[in-house]
Structure 1
Amino acid sequence: MTVRNLHALFRPRSVALIGATMRPLSVGATVLANLTAGGFAGPVYLVNPKYATLAGRPCYPSVDALPAPPDLAVLCTPAATIPRLITELGAAGTRAAIVLSAGFEGPADSAAGAMRQAILEAARPHLLRILGPNCVGLVASGIGLNASFAPGTAIRGSLAFATQSGALATAVLDWARSRQIGFSHFISLGDSADVDVADVLDYLASDSATRAILLYVEAIRHGSKFMSAARAAARSKPVLIVKAGRSAQSARAAASHTGALAGADGVYDAAIRRAGMLRIDSTEALFDAVEMLARLHGVHGTRLAILTNGGGAGVMATDALADGGGILASLSDQTLARLDDVLPATWPRANPVDIIGDAPVGRYQKAHAILCDAPEVDAVLMIHAPTAIVPATEIAAALVSAPPGGKPLLTAWLGGDAVQQARRLCQRAGLPTFETPEQAVRTFLQACEYRDNQQLLMRTPPADDTSAPTDKVTARGIVADALRSGRRTLTEPEAKEALAAYGIPVVPTATAENVDDAVRQAALLGYPVALKILSGDITHKATAGGVALGLADAAAVRSAGNAMLARIRQELPDARLDGFTVQPMVSFSDSFELIAGVTTDAVFGPVLLFGHGGVNTEHIRDTAIALPPLDALLAQDLVSRTRVGRLLQGWRGHPGIDRERLLHALVQLSRMVCDIPEIAELDVNPLLASPHGVIALDARIAVAVPSGGGPRLSIQPYPEALEERIACNGHDYLIRPVRPTDEAAYQAYFRQLTPEDIHARYFCAFREPDHDRLARLTQIDYAREMVFVATTTDASGRCAMLGEVRAIADPDNVQAEFGIAVRSDCHGQGLGKLLLDKMVRYARARGIGALVGATLPHNAAMLGLARSCGFTVKATPGNEGVSLHLALGEDGSRPVRPDLVRKR
């Protein structure tokens, strides 16, 4: 992940067009016309040895002949010339290039792939950034730059649009102009050989001219890089994404139920949700969603009231709401009584609230006010079909001029010319306005989903949601033994032992070498029992006839075992049979068969799946997917996104399951896959859940030696290995990375800081930071930020926070900006030195080039601490502040970490 030199791409001071021409219908001529018409204020150099002048401008024969190196070069010459041109441009001082040329598509070992790598190698020594190849180019409307061959340019605005489809880029640009939608940036990514979606997100997240980011994505190559950039961007501004290929399924042959159920698109859904973004189904819906973000504010719930002057329109809206999983508000008796007072006696006394087709303006106003007052209503949709009785314009004017009702109001004006002026009135007033009820409902549900995703991004797990005791050594040893013996699948007893090591309850399971031994084991366990075939070659035992349940005595075990062997030897003669497993039958009343599992996605790495289990799980397909690591809140969200999850709460006299035990099992499963990188696939099916708890009845774990390369997990888990206990001046401290569960400890910490200490560290005066600020302090991305806190245990046994040191690295790891503070009543105990030393050691190990910071000139304690740790201390111009700098390389220079300098 890097934003290095992207300013030269998106805000260049000068541009060179390599391959400029006036030849009709050529890319070079179109780009030249766009550059000329866009109003770019800087120099535009043209390069083509065939011309001395073009369009009244000088034309230079080569890069070397240019009067000055351009910030940005636009290349539209044949593919074979691009590597040489990139070399020349980089040597001249150019730091960004847009490669419009095609011919670089193909696998790495093809001629096209070799040429693609050649341009990357040519750019690498100069850190020259490349957009493309095979792209349409970009438009930066804020500086009048149209470096593309799109037909026309973008209207200036505050939306940024980045797309992996060139054809879609030109179509959306034309379509947006017709709707007067403007852009701060319009970016065609092409093949993304260098600059990709994550790089663009990182740049746009800090761009003050961009209020929302829109993406069209066909594929992500680096899951971890994308998730870090997406989560950071979504915390600062709305990010909406159209992900193409919704119907595509993973082509990989899965060896588990989880692998078969976790299609690639479901994983993308989980990633987008976890990043706090909003997924949209189509480009048209994308811009509807933009309007929603601009106009629909204050959505705090999903219960919608529908106010209409026609029953049919209300039914259409209700159907759309039900199809989208929304909630039709159930009106209370009090609300119904208030509506009775203002509506005709013939109204249906239900939601939708049909105020009858002859409704005058006052009836709309009174009914709307009552619905806004109703605590059981979260938002109101007003639908109007034109009538000859009251002009739609009068109704719109009344709604617009009415006092704010405290609830979001959406309007749908059905018809054409008769309601056009009503629509315009509502739009000018900032009300979300639509042509159909379905469109209005879809937008409302998008607003609800976006709110949920943002809340999921910012929610704080409960303070007691910490790691439960686990026996990692046992679990890792089981996996290592299997790999050493050449096996890629754990036996059922091994899989259950590994789960038990992580605190997941499992049914007792005995291994039997043959039928006689199975009979003996059954007698020891007690009848009735379940008998299962034991074979590493049989993935789904029940499908192969390798499972017999409810065996009541020895004769039943013997008969089932012999029949099982005969059937499998006939149908699967090549399968290796290692014997049987025997386990007591476990049966709880009011129980559910669930599935919990793990599979490894090619892009996002390990993913977790939960849903309806049992032998028919692949046919029922009631599952949801999440990215690890999970905490209790994320586990609850995973469960809630399944149909069976709603049943687990209990209904009609049936008690709910022990939800806390279920969530604990899911969290521990997440920790297991985070801790043990050799786990490739895992099934717990069925996971029996009841009011009495949960228990794994069957389990399967596939293992493999992890491949090298980038990070295995898309979201880095809590780095437990960085915890350190230190004794200092008679005190015992735990210095560890911050956790999301530390929010309450941070609140207490701030209350014990003096105003002077708060101002010196945070350059502000807050004493009671709100949840959003605390979430940003405690919910960090360990891939690009680190916070160490010094803690101890107070008299009540709770965690007490004594100080923190925070460092945020730039995406290139060139430097990290740090800040440090110690609780006001703990000064003079050496805590600051311990914390800063810990951060210096961490940053050096990460290959960060330097730690930099700033403080106030009168902060003598900070200045003394910095000098004692080797920082260079230098007053800023005007002596208004002091800068602190520590180079971390052994020779005083930046450590060489090429893997962190450029991520391809």
Structure 2
Amino acid sequence: MSVRNLPSLFKPQSVAVIGASNTPDTVGNIVMRNLLAGGFAGPIMPVTRSAQAVQGVLAYPDVASLPLTPELAVVVIPAAEVPAVVDDLGKRGTRAVVIGSAGLSKAENADGRTLMTAVDEIARKYGMRILGPNSMGLMVPGAGLNASSLHLPARKGRLAFVSQSGALCASVLDWAHTRGIGFSHFLSIGEAVNTDFGDILDFLGSDPQTAAILLYIQSVKDKRSFLSAARAAARNKPVLAIKAGRHEAVSHAVASHTGALAGSDHVYDAVFRRAGMLRVYDFEELFAAVETLGRSRKLKGDRLAIVTNGGGVGIMATDDLIGLDGRLATLTEDTIAKLDAVLPGIWSRTNPIDLIGDAPPDRYLEALKILHAAKEVDAVLVMHVPVAMVDATAVAEAVIAFAKEKRTAHITTCWVGDEKVREARRLFAEAAVPTLDTPDKAVRAFMHTVEYKRNQELLMETPASVATDFMPATVTARMIIEDVLKRGDTLLSEPEAKAVLAAYGIPTVETHIAKTPDEVFRQAERLGHAVAIKIISPDIAHKSDVGGVVLDLATPDEARQAAAAMAERLRRTFPEARIDGFSVQTMARRPGAHELIVGMSTDPVFGPVVLFGQGGIAVEVIGDRAVGLPPLNTTLAKELIGRTRVSRLLEGYRGRPPADLESISRTLIQVAQLATDIPEIVELDINPLFADATGVLAIDARMRVERTTQSGPDRLAIRPYPKDLEEVFTMRNGRPVLLRPIRPEDEPNHHAFVAALTPEDIRFRFFGLVQELPHSQMARLTQIDYDREMAFVGVATTETGDDETLGVVRTVTDPDNETAEFSIVVRSNLKGSGLGVRMMEKMIEYCRGRGTRYMVGQVLKENHRMLAFVEHLGFKRTATIDIDIVEVTLDLQNTPVAAPFTG
């Protein structure tokens, strides 16, 4: 994950084309033609041995002959020649290369390495950025750069499009060109030898010329790079994605229902949600969504009111809304009464609100005013069907005027038809009011804003890496798993799996192991009531499918007979299966309980994922499941539950009481914690998990384990809140302070902290007077991605038992982990307490431990105490910025730890 030398890719001062050609319709010819026609202001240098000039531009026989070093080179030569040419470019000092050549990942050198590996190693040696191989190039219309082999130039705009598929680039460009859609950047990343989605998202996320980022994804290579960059970019602007291969079949054998159900497409869904992105499914939807998100105002909630002069289109929109799991606002009696006063007596008196066909502009306005004030309505879809007695344009002008007056109103419009409503649609577009031409598209556009809002909220959730509301017996669970691995097994027996779950606080039905039918008799006799028995065999994945489960055995003798018959039957049917005995468990009687499935599986790209859904023996057939990324907190667990159909049943119905949602959520959190704590667990299945009003009970469990050298948190796609970095520090006055990473819920206390700073504190920290930071900026300071940022806060308890923030030290590290820029502020009445010193030392220790090379900061020259403080810690004055600010730098890897600061 790096932005190093990406400016040379996107904003080069000079370009060379290696393999330029005068032969029509060759890639070398097309690239040269595009560069020359694009208006690029710098030198364009063709390299070829077959001509003295290419398209009228003097050519050079090789890289060494070039009159100056090209900042960017486009390489379109046979694959076998690419490594040598890239090496030549590296020696010249070229910083970025686009490789259009294909086949490098399959062709090999004499030493057996692929050509792609050779190019990767050469690029690393020189610090070069490679776009490709097998890339169709890139376009940056604002810079006049068309270094591509595409058939059309991209129009100038504010959308960035990044695709793994070159052929798709051509299709999207053609589609967008006819619709007048422009781009800030248009990229084909090809096989992405060292420049992938994460790198490009890092660059585009902070690019002021890019308003939204559109991705076409076939696969992701580096989960942390992608997710960290996507989460950072999505905080700044909309990031939308199309994911190809949605119906890929599961190609590997799995030992659990969870493994079969948690297919890669469901995992990508979970990834996009947690990254704050929006997923769409075709190009028209992609561009419609980005236009809607760019024009829509902030959405309060998901309850939609539909206003129309045509009952039929209103019903169509309602059907579309319900089909997309949207919420139709339920009008209160008060709202209906207010509408009664201004609408004809034959209006629908429900939502959708049918204004009747002859509705003039004033009738629309009156309805909109009432709905805008209604607390049960979050957004309004305004629809109009052209009729002879009403001017469709006049109605549109009234809606636009209302939208301008009511800045908080969330309005989507749908003027149905064509010729009669073109002017109305033009006016909506000019006024930046979202407008669609069919009920389906309008409802889908509204649902895009709903989904985007939900995903942005999930983006802010950062669960802890260590359990905070329960105390798992992690050592016990580890011992059980280690015993299984030592005996050479990968599957835990049912009692072992349940023992691990119990160690993490998940209620399980009492279960014992019996080696023989006679032992089954004794265990059933000891339990003293009806039992269920199940075969224990590492070779039989789903016991109930092969007659390996018998329920409701009333007496010990019945249990013994059932065990003997089961063993004999399975020996005949599966003679090669290893049978280790039987599990004997109390027959759980929870009449009316819901059968759920909770599980964990390991995705080959994104690591552990948690699954929830409707359980039972037909779980794959029912297919009601949702997938989430661990770790989880209560908010994320409930959101995961809410994405399933069974969640509606859990709310209660027809006299059946609601299930205990808190217990179900806690079980999901506990399973996610297991995945975080014990990396040896690669698959886990609780099916069924009984759930009712009294709580949950795990009836059956499976668990698969493997040895690994990876830590639990490292295999997660999203770095959790690092609770292990918490420490208690005692100030010189004896007051204890908790030093810990900042959390999203610190925002209210952070407002109070800034408000309590003195004007001098604020000027030294912000280099100016700041009265108050807005929510957007404060949220940005408290909702951080721990993979690339860190902020330690000092939190103490007041006499009233509340927490207060006393100080904060912060670093933002560049994606190359080369430099971390720091800032620190501690309340002025605590200077000399030792708090600032310890906070700064803690941050230095943290940055040094993660391999960061330098810490840098900017200090006002007049802030003599701060300069003395950081210089004592080993910082050197390295630059003067303007005339009032000094830059200080600490070489983290070569500076010894400083003695205690006493100034």
TM-score (structure 1 length as normaliser): 0.94
Distance 1:399 1:744, change over 3 A: closer
Letter in 1 for 2:645: R
Q: Distance in 2 between matches of 1:625 and 1:852?
A: 41
Partner SS, residue 4 of structure 1: coil
CA contact (8 A) 1:597 1:610 kept: yes
Distance 1:570 1:292, change over 3 A: same
Aligned to 1:686: 688
Aligned to 1:712: 715
Q: Distance in 2 between matches of 1:434 and 1:293?
A: 13
CA contact (8 A) 2:595 2:615 kept: yes
Q: Distance in 2 between matches of 1:866 and 1:258?
A: 53
How far apart are residue 13 of structure 1 and its match? 0.9
Distance 1:560 1:752, change over 3 A: farther
Confirm whether residue 849 of structure 1 aligns to residue 826 of structure 2: no
Aligned to 2:869: 865
Aligned to 2:785: 781
Q: Deviations over 1:223-245 (max 9, x none)?
A: 12111111111011110111111
Letter in 2 for 1:517: E
How far apart are residue 767 of structure 1 and its match? 6.4
How far apart are residue 752 of structure 1 and its match? 4.3
How far apart are residue 525 of structure 1 and its match? 2.3
Aligned to 1:565: 567
Which is worse superposed, 16-25 or 386-395? Answer: 386-395
Distance 1:380 1:580, change over 3 A: same
Aligned to 1:815: 819
Q: Distance in 2 between matches of 1:181 and 1:728?
A: 59
Q: Deviations over 1:371-404 (max 9, x none)?
A: 3332222222222222222232232233223463
Partner SS, residue 664 of structure 1: helix
Aligned to 2:198: 198
How far apart are residue 877 of structure 1 and its match? 4.3
Aligned to 1:664: 666
Q: Distance in 2 between matches of 1:510 and 1:706?
A: 29
Aligned to 1:834: 838
Letter in 1 for 2:42: G
Aligned residue among 753, 770, 775 for 2:757: 753
Aligned to 1:414: 416
Q: Distance in 2 between matches of 1:727 and 1:579?
A: 57
Confirm whether residue 889 of structure 1 aligns to residue 890 of structure 2: no
CA contact (8 A) 1:104 1:113 kept: no
Distance 1:885 1:463, change over 3 A: closer
Aligned to 1:404: 405
Q: Distance in 1 between matches of 2:298 and 2:793?
A: 35
Q: Distance in 1 between matches of 2:665 and 2:776?
A: 25
How far apart are residue 750 of structure 1 and its match? 3.8
Distance 1:772 1:706, change over 3 A: farther
Q: Distance in 1 between matches of 2:467 and 2:680?
A: 26
Q: Deviations over 1:600-630 (max 9, x none)?
A: 0011011000111122221211110001111
Matches within 5 A, 1:43-82: 43-82=43-82
Q: Distance in 2 between matches of 1:890 and 1:485?
A: 47
Distance 1:755 1:523, change over 3 A: farther
Distance 1:522 1:822, change over 3 A: farther
CA contact (8 A) 2:105 2:114 kept: no
CA contact (8 A) 1:225 1:714 kept: no
Partner SS, residue 167 of structure 2: helix
Aligned to 2:97: 97
How far apart are residue 250 of structure 1 and its match? 2.5
Confirm whether residue 346 of structure 1 aligns to residue 346 of structure 2: yes
Q: Distance in 2 between matches of 1:368 and 1:798?
A: 44
Partner SS, residue 184 of structure 1: strand
Q: Deviations over 1:441-476 (max 9, x none)?
A: 111111110011111212577999825212211111
Which is worse superposed, 812-821 or 4-13? Answer: 812-821
Q: Distance in 1 between matches of 2:566 and 2:751?
A: 62
Q: Distance in 2 between matches of 1:878 and 1:383?
A: 56
CA contact (8 A) 2:791 2:809 kept: yes
Q: Distance in 2 between matches of 1:646 and 1:798?
A: 38
Distance 1:452 1:73, change over 3 A: same
Matches within 5 A, 1:449-460: 449-459=451-461
CA contact (8 A) 2:740 2:794 kept: yes
How far apart are residue 815 of structure 1 and its match? 1.2
Q: Distance in 2 between matches of 1:484 and 1:840?
A: 41
Aligned to 2:518: 516
Q: Distance in 2 between matches of 1:524 and 1:804?
A: 60
TM-score (structure 2 length as normaliser): 0.94
Letter in 1 for 2:373: D
Q: Distance in 2 between matches of 1:110 and 1:313?
A: 68
Q: Distance in 1 between matches of 2:203 and 2:725?
A: 30
Letter in 2 for 1:196: D
Aligned to 1:233: 233
Partner SS, residue 542 of structure 1: helix
Identity %: 49
Q: Distance in 1 between matches of 2:776 and 2:545?
A: 50
How far apart are residue 748 of structure 1 and its match? 4.9
Partner SS, residue 715 of structure 2: coil
Aligned to 1:550: 552
How far apart are residue 735 of structure 1 and its match? 3.4
Q: Deviations over 1:15-46 (max 9, x none)?
A: 11111222111111111111111111111112
CA contact (8 A) 1:792 1:800 kept: yes
Aligned residue-pair number: 893
Q: Deviations over 1:679-732 (max 9, x none)?
A: 100111222222222222221110012366994211112334434445564555
Q: Distance in 1 between matches of 2:26 and 2:100?
A: 12
Partner SS, residue 365 of structure 1: helix
Distance 1:102 1:155, change over 3 A: same
CA contact (8 A) 2:460 2:744 kept: no
Aligned residue among 736, 743, 747 for 2:740: 736
How far apart are residue 590 of structure 1 and its match? 4.4
Q: Deviations over 1:330-363 (max 9, x none)?
A: 2222222333333333333222222222333333
Distance 1:507 1:869, change over 3 A: same
Aligned residue among 534, 537, 551 for 2:536: 534
How far apart are residue 587 of structure 1 and its match? 2.7
How far apart are residue 158 of structure 1 and its match? 1.0
Aligned to 1:643: 645
CA contact (8 A) 1:100 1:136 kept: yes
Aligned to 2:628: 626
Aligned residue among 804, 824, 830 for 2:828: 824
CA contact (8 A) 1:460 1:743 kept: no
How far apart are residue 786 of structure 1 and its match? 2.3
Q: Distance in 1 between matches of 2:464 and 2:20?
A: 61
Instruction: Return 5+ residue gaps in structure 1 as ranges.
Output: 893-904
How far apart are residue 319 of structure 1 and its match? 1.3
CA contact (8 A) 1:508 1:583 kept: yes
CA contact (8 A) 2:463 2:720 kept: no
Partner SS, residue 782 of structure 1: coil
Q: Deviations over 1:292-343 (max 9, x none)?
A: 0122213222222222222221221111111111112222222223333333
Q: Deviations over 1:537-572 (max 9, x none)?
A: 222122222222222222322232222222222222
Which is worse superposed, 721-730 or 143-152? Answer: 721-730
Matches within 5 A, 1:788-799: 788-795=792-799
Confirm whether residue 151 of structure 1 aligns to residue 151 of structure 2: yes
Confirm whether residue 722 of structure 1 aligns to residue 740 of structure 2: no
Partner SS, residue 611 of structure 2: strand
Distance 1:547 1:774, change over 3 A: farther
Matches within 5 A, 1:358-373: 358-373=358-373
Letter in 2 for 1:868: H
CA contact (8 A) 2:465 2:720 kept: no
Q: Distance in 2 between matches of 1:308 and 1:732?
A: 63
Partner SS, residue 893 of structure 2: coil
Which is worse superposed, 155-164 or 355-364? Answer: 355-364
Q: Deviations over 1:246-289 (max 9, x none)?
A: 22233222110100100110000000000000001101110001
Letter in 1 for 2:816: D
Q: Distance in 2 between matches of 1:873 and 1:864?
A: 11
Partner SS, residue 665 of structure 1: helix
Q: Deviations over 1:60-86 (max 9, x none)?
A: 111111111011001111111111111
Q: Distance in 1 between matches of 2:22 and 2:357?
A: 63
Q: Distance in 2 between matches of 1:724 and 1:331?
A: 52
How far apart are residue 800 of structure 1 and its match? 4.8
